[in-house]
A and B are shown apart, each in its own frame.
Chain A
Amino acid sequence: MTWETVIGLETHVELATKTKIFCSCTTAFGGDPNTHCCPVCTGMPGTLPVLNKKVLEFAVKAGLALNCEITRYTKFDRKNYFYPDLPKAYQISQLYLPICRDGRVDIGGGKTVRIHELHMEEDAGKLVHDPWIDQTRADYNRCGVPLIEIVTEPDFRTADEVIAYLEKLKETLTYLGVSDCKMQEGSLRCDVNLSVRPAGSGELGTRTEMKNLSSFKAIARAIDYEANRQIELIQEGKRVVQETRRWDENKDATYAMRSKENAQDYRYFPEPDIPPVELSQDYLDALRAAQPELAPAKRARWQADWGLPEYDCQMLTSDPTLARFFEDTVALGAPPKQAANWIMGQVLAALSARAMEPKAMPLTPPTLARLIALVEGGALNRNTAVKVFEAVFDADGDVDAYVRDHGLEQVNDDALVEQAVERVLCANPKSVEDYRSGKDKAFGFLVGQVMRELKGKADPRAVNRLLRDRLA
């Protein structure tokens, strides 16, 4: 029998607001335990949550970009459960009137995934077990960090589709600036709901929910593992149990955490401490108008307007900061293809050599644009320009000053080049002979010698031309 896998995702995304969802504590990652908290986010008695307006704005922006309907009258609810990482013993979330509903995401290949809902909630803290002293300690730094949870319909059939969706989601949210979507820091976390059924069946099988998936690779492997596990169970005549399972990265397998029978009753009810939020048409219109251009639109525009190759477009839009850097450089007069080459070549190499993120790059578009202009105008040759690039990258140095101080201007005086050619030919009679007897390699050697004679500052095209003339 052929089997079909049916998958739905619940993705938690940490929002990139400076402060927490209900207090003014920082959301910065890390920090010594319990240094990023206050009486409000640690749920001390008598304290009250006050909604951070930026969280609402980011959630709406995400919802608009995912083609959701925005709920104009939205409310928070309490999800009650006891656990030491949750100091109030309830999580403020949204159940009854989530901020966004009914969206859709085009994941390529003609496939669209429907978004069931997107809601706002607060993150919990972290428990650290110290096996040495057999004690568990609570770190509440992450308590109250704002999250959006994005729930899809069960529209995926393969792991590839799931990864394509997550890539798209990550691209969209980073372009909006609402999240940095770093899985390694937990700012993007994904639970996978999966069931299998005979191909062609219209009914859904019993599903399991998988947690602890910490990378796209883990997600893909867990999906394959779990689909096979369920198919084998059914083929052996057994039943799939509705339960939550934990992915074990080291063992490459999922393990049962808790069954539906043991599922918690969260006793959701409306959060009385936060008044309902009403969104005006003006508010939504303003946010809609302020939505930034997303990656697909940029790629299409660059291809159409500048004839930039598809590959370049993909590379340059792989990170929103890089894309903005590219556009700014072009806006300063750099020819798009030249700017693209510099960024995909030198800039990415320099970043990777320094294990640096584009966001942290010291080099600014005016500096790169100036460098490109000097090359284009013939004042610098490309090889020298690369050296200048390396020299100015870390401190965003002054390109013109560096070129001047190091005497790197290209030699554009044909007479000077001719003199150098003369000297090289006299000094290398053997190579001249080799060239004349048909050894092309000798020509390259002579070009190199002339360049060296001129300390690399000559325009290689001029050297080629004059050398060939002289040898003719």
Chain B
Amino acid sequence: MVPMGIKDNICTQGIKTSCASKILGDFRPPYEATASALLTEAGAVSIGKTNMDEFAMGSTTETSFYGPVKNPWDLSRAPGGSSGGSAAAVAARSCWYAVGSDTGGSIRQPASYCGVTGVKPTYGTVSRYGLIAYASSLDQIGPLARDAADCAAILDVLQGKDPRDGTSLDGQYGHLLEGLTGDVRGLKIGVPTDCFGDGLNGEVRRAVLAVADVLKSRGAEVVELSFPVMEYVVPAYYIIAAAEASSNLSRFDGVKYGWRAEGYDGLADLYNKTRTEGFGMEVKRRILLGTFVLSSGYYDAYYRKALQVKAVIKEAFDRAFETCDLLLTPVAPATAPRLGESLSDPLQMYLSDVYTVSVNLAGLPGLSMPCGSDSRGLPIGAQLIGPHFGEGRLLNAAHAFQSDTDWHKRAPKGGEEL
């Protein structure tokens, strides 16, 4: 019996699943997501659904219709997003672990801001059945926990082919938890110089690069390499994610379930009023953007181009993994922002996803782990990226780091007692 939190975009049978949106109202799915069913079967006990950015669109958990989540390390700050509720709950020791979803960094970035370990698995290795889609080709469910070993144990339960998800795959990892030897001798850690340039906070840079030193001391080899696609990743991501979102969220129209506007006049007005009143600002912004890039006359200039960029990014990773086994990068350019700070400048918020979105575009596994704290005592996270189905390697490297450091053991004030 292990207490867990479930992000509120993962369907739980008979239990309210709102995606932190007004439009889903008190939607109670008549079915259970594969991921939560597997964990329940393995002995997990859900202690509740965790708050999130509305439809997982946001980087701070402030776009929730039900109010923001506060960062347990500093209640005036955001926990990151969109799985901010899951990350904060684990950091505050409210539950042992939580599941989140990651479309462009939504597990890794809040894990980083809250000082917990989170994994975005290889695309397809965890069933998406029952995960309310944001961007179907990028969405992936994964764990947020106190350390890499717990994440490995959770992934051992979660991963595998699901007949109800045609895109699901069996990672055939064997047993991830048993594979955690901490032996990283000969492992080649690639450090992409393009990820440590301008725009990265100095404290974050130092803490992340220190990870390389720890792994080196355990016998790993560290190589610098170039990753010359960084300037394209954010635009490509926001075009593809918004395009898919505009289609995925069309079903929320007030006709079948969820919230319906009152006082409408005819069908078009029912649609208009329900969607105008039911969706928040950020969701509307992405639906509009997605609708635009798919529109006749713009498809080639935006969506098709973004798919081409996606292919280029995949190739860049393929080349990188020819010379190294894992990549080490920051998770976010800085530590947790103050609540309210990001909402005023959405473009700046989008740009802060620069280190995480490429992993989703390439379908790769990525891990975020605590590797230090800044001068205000806020956690700093480091990202490890592996090749397809490289979860074992990824988790073992993180486990090796966590065997020699105690950043992952630190809890915010008030969290130690549990």
Contact = CB atoms under 8 A, between A and B. Distances in A.
B166 A44 contact: no
A273 B167 contact: yes
A378 interface: no
Interface stretch (A81-89, A245-253, A413-421): A81-89
B166 A275 contact: yes
A51 interface: yes
A51 B167 CA distance: 11
B132 A46 contact: yes
Contacts, number: 99
A51 B252 CA distance: 24
B165 interface: yes
Interface residues of B, number: 44
A273 B271 CA distance: 25
A272 B253 CA distance: 21
B240 to A, nearest CB: 9
Interface string A47-58: 111110000000
A18 to B, nearest CB: 17
B256 A273 contact: no
B31 A45 contact: no
Interface in B262-279: 267, 271
Contact of B255 (A84, A267, A274): A84
Given A88-B251, A272-B244, A46 B11 contact: yes
Contacts of B167: 48, 272-275
Interface string A174-211: 00000000000000000000000000000000000000
Nearest to A40: B164
Contacts of B251: 43, 45, 87-89
A88 B165 contact: no
Nearest to B267: A84
A46 B133 contact: yes
Contact of B137 (A88, A89, A265, A272): A272
A88 B30 CA distance: 17
B212 interface: no
A3 interface: no
B19 to A, nearest CB: 8
A45 B27 contact: yes
A90 B250 contact: yes
Given A82-B271, A265-B296, A269-B247, A48 B128 contact: yes
A80 interface: yes
A106 to B, nearest CB: 37
Nearest to B303: A269
B217 interface: no
Interface string A83-115: 010011110000000000000000000000000
B31 A44 contact: yes
Nearest to B24: A45
A47 B129 contact: yes
A46 B29 contact: yes
B278 to A, nearest CB: 13
Interface residues on A, range: 20 to 34
A361 interface: no
Interface SS, B side: loop
A82 B253 contact: yes
Contact of A48 (B135, B166, B255): B166
B30 to A, nearest CB: 6
Contacts of A274: 166-167
A82 B252 CA distance: 10
Interface string A259-273: 000000101110011
A267 B29 contact: no
A84 B10 CA distance: 25
A274 B129 CA distance: 13
A16 B271 CA distance: 35
A78 interface: yes
A27 interface: no
A86 B137 CA distance: 22
Contact of B30 (A39, A82, A138, A267): A39
Interface string B21-56: 000100101110100000000000000000000000
A94 to B, nearest CB: 15
B227 interface: no
B295 interface: yes
A42 interface: yes
Interface in B126-180: 128-133, 135-137, 163-167
A196 to B, nearest CB: 28
- The interface centre, meaning the residue of A39, A44, A268, A275 with most chain B CB atoms within 10 A of its CB, is A44
B397 interface: no
A309 B189 CA distance: 81
Contact of B166 (A42, A43, A50, A89): A50
A48 B294 contact: no
A71 to B, nearest CB: 18
A310 B256 CA distance: 56
A274 B124 CA distance: 12
Nearest to A23: B164
Nearest to B252: A45
B343 to A, nearest CB: 25
- Residue of A46, A90, A138 most packed against chain B (CB within 10 A): A46
A223 B17 CA distance: 52
A401 B250 CA distance: 67
5 contacts: A45-B252, A48-B128, A50-B164, A267-B291, A272-B136
Given A44-B30, A80-B246, A269-B294, 8 more contacts: A47-B130, A78-B247, A82-B250, A87-B256, A89-B247, A269-B247, A272-B244, A274-B166
Which 4 pairs of residues, A with B, have the shortest CB-CB distance?
A89-B250, A272-B137, A267-B294, A272-B136
